[in-house]
Amino acid sequence: MDSQTSTLLATVLVQAGAGGVTGFMIGYGVRQVAGIMLKVSAAAFALLAIPLAGLMSIGVLKVDWQALAALLEKAIAALAQGIAQMIPTLTQALPATGAFTLGFAGGLMKK
C-alpha cells in the first residue's frame, strides 16, 4: 500500500470511528432525555387538551382546520427544504455521517 492510500484509509477510519462514537453517545443521551420529556409532554398535553376539547364541544371554541392544515403543510415544506440543503454537506463527510447514523441508532436502541 502506498502512503497516499494509507493516509486516505486512516482518514476514513478516524472519521468513521469518531462519527460512530459521537453518534452512539448522542443517541443514548437523546433516549434518556426523550423518555423524561415524553412523560412530561404527555401530562402537559392532557392537562391542556381535555379542557380545550370540552370548550370545543360546547361551542365556546372553534378550530379553523383548513388554516391548521395549511400551517402544517408550510412547516413540512420548510423541513424538506432544510434537509435538501444539508445533503451536499452530509455527502462530503460520508464516512463520519454514516457511522454517526449507525451509532445514533445503536444509542437509541441501547437499554
Residue type, 34: A
For the chain, which residues make up each domain, given as ranges? 3-61+94-109
Query: Taking a C-beta distance cutoff of 8 angstroms, is the pair 22, 100 a contact?
Result: yes
Query: Taking a C-beta distance cutoff of 8 angstroms, is the pair 106, 24 a contact?
Result: yes
Q: The C-alpha cell of 90 is what?
A: 452530509
Q: What percent of the chain has pLDDT over 90?
A: 30
Higher pLDDT, 37 or 110: 37
Write the pLDDT tens digit of every residue in 18-27. Answer: 888 888 888 8
pTM of the model as a whole:
0.51
In degrees, rounded to 5, the angle at the alpha carbon of residue 42 between the alpha carbons of residues 62 and 51 is: 30
